[in-house]
Amino acid sequence: MWPFVAALTLSITLAACGGGGGGAGSAGDPGLSDRAALGKKIFFDPSLSASGRMACSTCHDPAFAHAQNNALPVQSGGAGLDVPGFRAVPSLNYLEKNPSFFFDSEGTPTGGFNRDGRAQTLADQAQRPFLAAHEMANGTPDVVVQKLAAAAYADDFRRVFGSAIFADIDTAFLRARQALEAYEREDPAFHPYDSKYDAFLAGRATLTAQEIRGLALYQDPTKGNCSGCHPSARGSDGTPNSPPLFTDFTYDNLGLPRNMAIPANADPAYLDMGLCGPERTDLAGRRDLCGAFKVPTLRNVATRKVFFHNGAFSSLKDALTFYVQRDTNPEKWYPMGSSGALEKFNDLPPDLAGNVNTTEVPYNRKEGEPPALTDAEIDDVVAFLQTLTDGYTP
């Protein structure tokens, strides 16, 4: 799944972002460039929102691997923090090697940022939260720039990007997002590679018997087969001895159950189809891609409060159980329709049910067959996944 390694290059580099400043070793935040130190201030600034109470860090909490800190399926924003979103918040951690979106030589959609890959860079990804009505709700870039010009760090912004930076709305808004990108790339807190599993690979920690069993099941192509999309071996990005990324940056359609706790789903006509829309529009005609969402890294997965793009599950064990019992015990996950028939894959139009992955292990089981993992084996895999949490002290 890694023919795209040569494409793991940044569509922009921090050195080529334009503007002044950006040298390493900012006095305000040792270890970060001036640009990244400014990005850190922007990341934690709630004054940049319509409510005055929402910053980037509100939904991307550093204490939860820069993901959400509650079990709500979607977060709410807007001026009154009462406008619900549409998807669960993804983690911002371990995106430093994420490539821009492309189709590989076999036509497999790969890379990109956001759950549907529509953003090509971290700077692109940062645009919507500033403007969207269900997030910081500024509406237009000029409102964001006015707030930046009034911020306590406005002089830092001028020092880094030039004294006249706020005179050009589009450029100032771009520079703010590039500063955020620099912060996310430079601050080790976004990619520390210091989990127990990292220590194990380095020979500085020993896994328990249960964790070893879980790792074996995780890697076994006839059991968990997790490493098929979430590689766990060093160098899985094509760089010898590099830490495993636990994602191949591709997309998959899991046939998740519709989550009626998402307000938008009260409308039967609303369908979140991932790669083919509604958020992403350039692939709207690719019906074969509808329902596919990006494969996330599993690093820090045990710290997640909800799982999958629609927050369908709030327990890691439940998420794993769904993986292995989706087809063997569909009655556990899907509702009965008014006709008395089970509505399997009920978050997709019926004519697109064929897009769901039903061929790869563990999805290749039939109803009534034993699942790929027993309950005890699921516990073992959960134990292994807990070794992927950052901050381990040997």
Residue pair 264/219 in contact by the 8 Å Cβ criterion: no
- The per-residue pLDDT for 244 is 97
pTM of the model: 0.92
Residues 236 and 133 in one domain: no
Helix (H) or strand (E) run with residue 377 in it: helix 375-385
> What mean pLDDT is predicted for residues 350-377?
97
- Domain stop point among 164, 190, 216: 190
The answer on 160 and 284 residing in a single domain is: no
Domain identity same for 355 and 326 = yes
Domain end (from 138, 158, 190): 190
277 and 357 fall within a common domain:
yes
**pLDDT for position 201:** 97
pLDDT of residue 30: 76
Interval 363-390 mean pLDDT: 98
Q: Please, what's the b/e burial string for 18-41 (b: 16 or more CB within 10 A of its CB; e: otherwise)?
A: ebebbeeebeebeebbbbbbbbbb
Percent of the chain at pLDDT exceeding 90: 90
333 with 352, same domain: the answer is yes
Say yes or no: 181 and 73 in one domain: yes
Report which of residues 14 and 378 the model is more confident about. 378
pLDDT of residue 109 exceeding 70, the answer is yes
Residue 342, pLDDT > 90, answer yes
The parent domain of residue 259 ranges over 193-394
- Confidence class of residue 29 from pLDDT cuts 50, 70 and 90? confident
Domain boundary among 190, 208, 240: 190
E strands in 59-149:
76-77, 83-84, 102-103, 109-110
> DSSP alpha helices (H): ranges in 203-361?
209-219, 316-325
**DSSP run (H or E) holding 294:** strand 293-294
Q: Over the stretch 314-324, which tens digit does the pLDDT of each residue have?
A: 999 999 999 99
Going by C-alpha positions, the residue among 239, 202, 197 that lies closest to residue 218 is 197
CATH of the domain at 185: 1.10.760.10
Q: How many domains does the chain have?
A: 2
